Structure 1
Amino acid sequence: MACICLFRLFLLLVLAALYQGKHLNPTSHLRYSRFLDPSNTVFLRWDFDYAAEIITFEIQIRTTGWVGLGITDRYTFVGSDLVVGGVLPSGNVYFSDQHLVDEDTLEEDGSQDAELLGLTEDAVYTTMRFSRPFRSCDPHDLDISSDTMRVLAAYGLDDTPKLSRERTFVKSIFLLQIVQHDDLDVPKDTIIYDLEISNFLIPEDDTTYACIFLPLPIVSQKHHIYKYEPLLVEHNETMVHHILMYACGNASVLPTGINECYGSDPAFSLCSHVIAGWAVGGLSYQFPDEAGISIGTPLDPQWVRLEVHYSNFHNLPGIYDTSGMRLFYTKHLRKYDMGVLELGISVFPIHFIPPGAESFMSYGLCKTEKFEEMNGAPIADIYVSGYLIHTHLAGRSLQAVQYRNGTQLQTICKDFSYDFNLQETRDLPHLVEIKPGDELLIECNYQTLDREFMTFGGPSTTNEMCLVFFFYYPRINISSCLGYPDIIYVTNELGEEASENPMENLMILNNVEWTPENIKKAEKACRESQQTVMVKTIDEQEENTTGWIPDIIPTPRGPCLESSGGKVEPQDKTPAGFRLPLVALLFLQGTL
């Protein structure tokens, strides 16, 4: 009997040690990292368990005072949650879950939902590691989601937590990244190929779309492009808004040189099938191991239109730029060819947003019922692995919703906290299956409180867009599926006499007195009007159909997680929230 008790006690100690090592090891690897300030003083590492809905942060700041990390709102620091910690001169640690009651006053939460995993200080740095639920039951804790998160970091020079502007930083980050590119397979025979606009003099205009037609790599057999990344000139990054690669049909007659994409020469707007894209704030993107962009076969493009969108808001003269896209490709083929499907609202002025709107919803419908006919052959189900969402400065949120046989299936992707300065291709947590006949709806929300005139759809940064690009496989012969509302119906619903010429109706709408009531009336009319759906193939064939905007049923929020953390009191260096696992407690009970 004594032997059994000793064995149970020994096993209990082993389990407790294993538990402690797994959850509290301050040196365990965290996959993601980012500097949060311009001078690289504040360094964040993080990782997460998607199934358990727990995220772990480690903040390292060049200070021997207090440090803090949390989540904030787009518009104000009030209500931000901030986990605060530090090491006193005596060596004791302090740590607590707090929130901002005004712009610079911290108050401790009634519920302590952050769990301390490590807190150290040396002569240069203070480093704090902790975990917290994606969504706790504390109303003072902001949810961690797949939306753009505005991460708040702050620190002080002593151990009195108080915010100061010069030591407070906010950075937009996709915290719940799904794939770590370094973890994916890199073929040993990788070949690198650069596509660039060389030594281009950026015009002294707010917006310029510069285009050039360039050949893809010449290969004697099929290859797959499995990764791409932007090529940016140092100090010019703030002027490059996006870079897109459009595949060109092999029968196209293409112009030479660099010119305005959507200017007087229509040849420079040829080729509309996006195959790769980068936008401001983004990084490189690598496709999943089972798919890549095909090159080298008779069905594959041999040329691309490289489009670089410049935003020279300060009208700076004499700036030369060489931007573009770097491709990584291999002859070791993946199982599927990757395709890109463009969804949303057709980019032309029938898409309008009134001035002075706190919120204005726009919708673009896609009906896939014509995909098989336009593909020219039966098509299988396609699987979406990643996406890129895109609006301009007025955009506040986007979502893509899937319907089948008139029933809403799911929200495929969303960002209810969109940031124009962080546009990056994101991976889905799981593949999304789209069947022929499904409907896809893109919803965009805009705010124009700072505008006195109508905002129309268009290429300029001060115009608007509402687009989602799906990266999917296996590839089919469809490049885009875009919708737009019946502008004649909308004009009549606003009490104006509509013209048969759609563009004339835009001039009529421009003269409407945009009161809050008229703004909501216009939003309702756009939503209730019949949509024209334009479906285009990779080889530029186009057909139209019509449809109606279905209702969107909001996705219910999951249950919150009860507090599992606690506060580390002075004189107590044991990290907060330490708990023995249930199996250890059972063994302890048996031993006693």
Structure 2
Amino acid sequence: MTCALLFSLFLLLVLEAPSQSNHLGPTSRLRYSRFLDSSNVIFLRWDFDLEAEIITFELQVRTTGWVGLGVTNRYTNVGGDLVVGGVLPDGNVYFSDQHLVDEDTLGEDGSQDAELQGLTEDAVYTTMRFSRPFRSCDSHDQDITSDTVRVLAAYGLDDTPKLDRERTFVKSIFLLQIVHPDDLDVPEDTIIHDLEITDFLIPEDHTTYACTFLPLPIVSKKHHIYKFEPRLIARTETLVHHILVYACGNASALPTGISDCYGADPAFSLCSQVIVGWAVGGTSYQFPDDVGVSIGTPLDPQWIRLEIHYSNFHNLAGVYDTSGIRVYYSAQLRKYDMGVLQLGFFTFPIHFIPPGAESFMSYGLCKTEKFEEMNGAPVPDIQVYGYLLHTHLAGRALQAVQYRNGTQLQIICKDDSYDFNLQETRDLPHRLAIKPGDEVLVECHYQTLDRDSMTFGGPSTINEMCLIFLFYYPRNNISSCMGYPDIIYVANELGEEVSDSMEAMMAMSSVEWTPENIKKAEKACKEAQQTVIIKTIDEVVENTTGWIPDIISSARGPCLESTGGKVEPQDKTPAGFRAAPVAISSSSSSSQQLLPIPLIHS
């Protein structure tokens, strides 16, 4: 009897004690938060320990029934994991690590890898807090990675865990956000300046690139821009696909007014060095405390080109827009002047993606050997601290890989679960250096199973892009470094007899795109010689050539077994129960200390 009591008390302490490995116990502040549904019924807080590879979630739902939180994949919820919990009418708690057997059925995992930290219920909310490894040894648990993660949340109106599609939600979130804005300095002398298009009549076309040229803030001495955010209005925000701010060389003769960026007047495509950029799904971004965009010195740009891409798929008429970018700047100077380097596949129709492709890879090469010559001065190591990934609707994954002396050095950044609707500037966990002579390869992964015609590179959302913007310091004059393959070689490998690039591009539409030809085209694009186009802020362009190196994939890290050990299929004990006889009372001290969640946008 005494042993049984001691054992029960031990289990209770285990359930209530904070995890020692990640230092995020039941009362620890969780830095990140997000509503997971449009009605603001489901609110999530989370935080993580990168070293321990443990993440802690706190889910609060407006229900007195069960709640569930987990991770799923892009295409189906089936197989997604879901940690389920709730409080019974008698005050006892139930909690289990489960997975979706099919769209409507839950099954308990053989290995219980989620650790409960608290469960409470009142007249309005059920709140569940737990931790789990980034990667457990249970095949039913989806990995938490530095990619976009599709968070799955569900709840019920009673204590019978049963999936209802009306109360099941999936939201893409970048969970492992390294830097929280609250941890960054905000200068007391901050000045706000808006770069925007005013009362612009959005054309009824599917795709419009509207450009105008605007002055940067006029200051008498050097200042640093340290933060930017989109300026969107409610009636048009669903039409705005991306906004880019390009620095103009001070010798440029710039046009006035608003016009098509890439139309009849080539002057509206001047200026190609990105300063800041926003795309659909993104929010504000604040630079690290030691970097900023320099303005106010003779070497700094005085004008910018503001580019807004509108996707008016429903051909709405009479819609006026005032959108742009708000910048925050200060006379409190940072240590480094930052720049942005655009990498990837040069955006024009030589970039093609066959229809009906389960998987198709495109490559754009950058060679830095000419950077110093084109910069007009020695180029210090490019210290990369952040990045922005960009494809259109067919994009599934991107990565940038660094090479030195022909050897792969590291993967700079990647997202194997890219979501077009979540494009945001992200910080690297560790800064890295690109040295003169290094090569950087961008690989983009596409899927076109829903298309029956060719997809070509281009500006429209139904076209494709393959771009990665690297945020770095100290600033140099190189604005972009992008590549494309020898399309004549590719066409010849596909059995098409062509003699020039235009003929080769046209020949792509006559190819019978069987799975075999899709793979043959992908192989030819990778083996073809690449032309590398390098451009400076003053629109000086030089070309070089190179070859696509192989990419060595990084190995997955070790998994973490649950503390209770893995339950094997041959075990007769029902899987999924963690000390069923022992329950945490909803009035337990640790549960009462869960922080209340306000019903307002965070």
Cross-structure match for 1:562: 561
Cross-structure match for 1:75: 75
CA distance in 1: counterparts of 2:298 and 2:477, whole angstroms: 14
* Corresponding letter in the other structure for 1:497: E
Runs of 4 or more above 3 Å deviation? 16-27
- What are the equivalent positions in structure 2 for 1:19-168 lying under 5 Å apart? 25-168=25-168
Aligned residue for 1:492, secondary structure, equals helix
Cross-structure match for 2:545: 546
CA distance in 1: counterparts of 2:581 and 2:31, whole angstroms: 32
- What are the equivalent positions in structure 2 for 1:26-425 lying under 5 Å apart? 26-425=26-425
* Corresponding letter in the other structure for 1:534: I
Task: Name stretches of at least 5 consecutive residues in structure 2 with no aligned partner.
Answer: 1-12, 565-576, 587-602
CA-CA distance at 1:570 after TM superposition: 4.9
Alignment partner for residue 572 of structure 1, among 574, 580, 583? 583
CA distance in 1: counterparts of 2:402 and 2:512, whole angstroms: 36
Cross-structure match for 1:429: 429
Q: What percentage of residue pairs aligned between the two structures are identical?
A: 79
Contact 1:195 1:214 in 2 (8 A): yes
Greater mean deviation of Cα atoms: 387-396 or 561-570: 561-570
* Corresponding letter in the other structure for 2:152: L
CA distance in 2: counterparts of 1:402 and 1:479, whole angstroms: 18
CA distance in 1: counterparts of 2:376 and 2:32, whole angstroms: 44
CA distance in 2: counterparts of 1:361 and 1:573, whole angstroms: 51
Cross-structure match for 2:514: 515
Aligned residue for 2:370, secondary structure, equals helix
Residue by residue over 1:250-280, the C-alpha shift from the partner in whole angstroms, topping out at 9 and shown as x without a partner, is 1111111111111111111111111100000
CA 1:254–1:85 in 2, change beyond 3 Å: closer, same or farther?
A: same
Contact 2:19 2:25 in 1 (8 A): no
CA 1:347–1:317 in 2, change beyond 3 Å: closer, same or farther?
A: same
CA-CA distance at 1:27 after TM superposition: 3.4
Aligned residue for 2:268, secondary structure, equals helix
CA distance in 1: counterparts of 2:563 and 2:57, whole angstroms: 16
- Normalized against structure 1, the TM-score is what? 0.93
- What are the equivalent positions in structure 2 for 1:434-473 lying under 5 Å apart? 434-473=434-473
Contact 1:24 1:117 in 2 (8 A): no
Residue by residue over 1:67-122, the C-alpha shift from the partner in whole angstroms, topping out at 9 and shown as x without a partner, is 00000111111100000000000000000000001111000000000000110000
CA distance in 2: counterparts of 1:550 and 1:21, whole angstroms: 40
Contact 1:71 1:80 in 2 (8 A): yes
Residue by residue over 1:379-424, the C-alpha shift from the partner in whole angstroms, topping out at 9 and shown as x without a partner, is 2212100000000011010000111111111111110111000000
Superposed CA RMSD in Å reads 1.6
CA-CA distance at 1:202 after TM superposition: 1.3
Contact 1:93 1:568 in 2 (8 A): no
Contact 1:94 1:570 in 2 (8 A): no
CA distance in 2: counterparts of 1:78 and 1:453, whole angstroms: 30
CA-CA distance at 1:315 after TM superposition: 1.4
Contact 1:223 1:329 in 2 (8 A): yes
CA 1:27–1:21 in 2, change beyond 3 Å: closer, same or farther?
A: farther
- What are the equivalent positions in structure 2 for 1:524-539 lying under 5 Å apart? 524-539=523-538
- Normalized against structure 2, the TM-score is what? 0.91
Contact 1:93 1:570 in 2 (8 A): no
Contact 1:209 1:310 in 2 (8 A): yes
Cross-structure match for 2:572: none
* Corresponding letter in the other structure for 2:164: S
Residue by residue over 1:9-39, the C-alpha shift from the partner in whole angstroms, topping out at 9 and shown as x without a partner, is xxxx9xx988789967533211000000010
Contact 2:270 2:539 in 1 (8 A): no
CA distance in 1: counterparts of 2:294 and 2:249, whole angstroms: 14
CA 1:276–1:19 in 2, change beyond 3 Å: closer, same or farther?
A: closer
CA 1:331–1:519 in 2, change beyond 3 Å: closer, same or farther?
A: same
